[in-house]
A and B are shown apart, each in its own frame.
Chain A
């Protein structure tokens, strides 16, 4: 993702006289840093805001892997493994099967938190985006800055989650750590779409709660997360195919425990997630520009 926005300004509008080109040169110099680093300044703002709920960020980042890995990877797993044996699913224990999915889900959780209410806030409830846009910052840079800041929080969350996976002994594969960037890509692919969707909302009359209930929750349940997708009746399997979580989880399982998968399918996972991210990003930038340029 490029942090800078719109190319730099070069020519002088055909201005002939000295005063005009001087004015222009001074103006170009004054805005040059923001043209280049504006996205990072927006991210800086987001980090400052996140600091006010840093405790929540850390608590969820540490608490949720503990809770989920213990409840499902240990508790539920004892039932599954008890019935199906120590190589219950995909030839590995239930904990090993489940952990990469929980990791990707934690990235999705960060996305569905950070790309909903904070976006609504910036456009509507406390319209700071309009304030940013009145400075040298451009609308696209606001979108970039938010993506950067959320990516940072997501990376932190996933890294901590991964450490707990190691502690629980859930990662037999040597390349398991690659599951972290895969989870990041998964979270951002979904999140960029959510951000774009939220940018279309003039008012929140329950849409964001519906999104949680009817998109995020079903996606978490039916993306090959807790059981392989092929256990679903064939007419429901499409849920997995369109779900970024399924693509992300399947890919991270390849690295976490060497789940066999044809290479073309792994490539499809990466391409699909990248495409979602690109579409969401592009769409969010367009909508933001349209909404701020009244």
Chain B
């Protein structure tokens, strides 16, 4: 087995009054696309910063590209690409200048950085914006520019902290396409997200994180199989009726989750459950049969929704 690109063992980050990361262990293999899925405040970004060698861990073992960040920070960072959650593009510089300046931070020769900047503007579909002001770019374009910037040093590992948060659906799809290409080219990706669809699209494997701990680990399909069912039937009886109906629904499917406004029935066939429900004289106002998703996994594991 090749040496993992990232290996963490009981990783802990403690601030004065709270523990942000509470004993996380996982490994990421070369070429793998690995996700940290969890709600806001789960400790995803803190984990990301420790792996990015910009935040010193409180305890535990951490190995990035075979090196310990405590000792080899610049060495690790020289081989990373980082797309932070908070945009930190330089607003005082033009689009292409942002790439040129950033390439220089890695000590790359000017001519090489210039060549690479043009390739990356092409890749990020920003070639016609090369001399635009950063401020004039849309949210999606800014994020693509940040990804282009993260690739200026041909990194072995790309860290993406909530890459599509705050973007509209179309911009997200464009971004996913770009990231999928990187994945095809063999770049190792580590991304945090609180979007299930994003994790399902991009991650080979992921960990579900909550309150600084890992709740489960596996491929998206694997996690859905283990913690959910093939399909989910969502029914609504109206908020006043919901609790009253709940008792009569227990026993349907493999499992039932009663939420304040809707009831989820986990089953291999949502249609079957709906038929039986109707046969039993229950008339939901709305019903929806859908594929089970990581959202269901998270709900099952924590009893809470991912986005609250």
Contact = CB atoms under 8 A, between A and B. Distances in A.
Given A27-B79, A30-B75, A137 B68 contact: no
A28 B78 CA distance: 9
Given A9-B72, A27-B72, A130-B88, A44 B54 contact: no
B76 A132 contact: no
With most chain B CB atoms within 10 A of its CB, the pick from A23, A27, A135, A294 is A135
A275 interface: no
Given A24-B66, A34-B74, A41 B54 contact: no
Interface in B54-92: 54-56, 65-68, 71-80, 82, 84, 86, 88-92
Nearest to B100: A48
A19 interface: yes
A49 B104 CA distance: 14
Given A126-B90, A130-B88, A293 B74 contact: no
Interface in A122-137: 126-128, 130-137
Interface string A1-36: 000001001000100000110011001101111110
Interface string A57-97: 00000000000000000000000000000000000000000
A166 interface: no
Nearest to A44: B104
A45 interface: yes
B90 A293 contact: no
Contacts of B89: 131
A34 B88 CA distance: 20
Interface in B102-138: 102, 104-107
A26 to B, nearest CB: 8
A292 interface: yes
A131 B49 contact: no
Contacts of A19: 3
B52 interface: yes
B105 A34 contact: yes
Contacts of B75: 9, 24, 27-28, 30-31, 136
Interface residues of chain B: helix, strand, loop or mixed (majority):
loop
B93 interface: yes
B97 interface: yes
A220 interface: no
A23 B84 contact: no
B190 to A, nearest CB: 14
Contact-size category for A: 35 or more
B221 interface: no
A164 interface: no
A44 B49 CA distance: 26
Interface residues of B, number: 37
A38 interface: yes
With most chain B CB atoms within 10 A of its CB, the pick from A20, A34, A42, A52 is A34
B277 interface: no
A138 interface: yes
A37 interface: yes
Contacts of A38: 74, 105, 107
A264 B132 CA distance: 57
B105 A13 contact: no
A37 to B, nearest CB: 6
B103 to A, nearest CB: 9
B73 A138 contact: yes
B90 A33 contact: no
B84 A30 contact: no
Contact of A27 (B67, B91, B93): B67
B182 interface: no
A200 B29 CA distance: 40
A133 B69 CA distance: 13
With most chain B CB atoms within 10 A of its CB, the pick from A38, A49, A52, A128 is A128
Given A28-B75, A130-B88, A44 B107 contact: no
Interface string B180-192: 0000000000000
B246 interface: no
A292 B68 CA distance: 19
A30 B74 CA distance: 9
B301 interface: no
A130 B78 contact: no
A293 B54 contact: yes
Given A9-B72, A34-B78, A293-B54, A52 B92 contact: yes
Given A37-B107, A44-B101, A13 B74 contact: no
Contacts of A127: 86, 88
B52 A13 contact: no
A23 B105 contact: no
Nearest to A27: B75
11 contacts: A19-B3, A27-B79, A30-B78, A45-B90, A45-B101, A48-B101, A49-B92, A128-B90, A131-B89, A133-B54, A293-B56
Given A19-B3, A31-B75, A135-B82, 6 more contacts: A27-B78, A34-B107, A38-B107, A48-B101, A134-B82, A294-B49
Interface of B: 3, 49, 52, 54-56, 65-68, 71-80, 82, 84, 86, 88-93, 97, 101-102, 104-107, 153
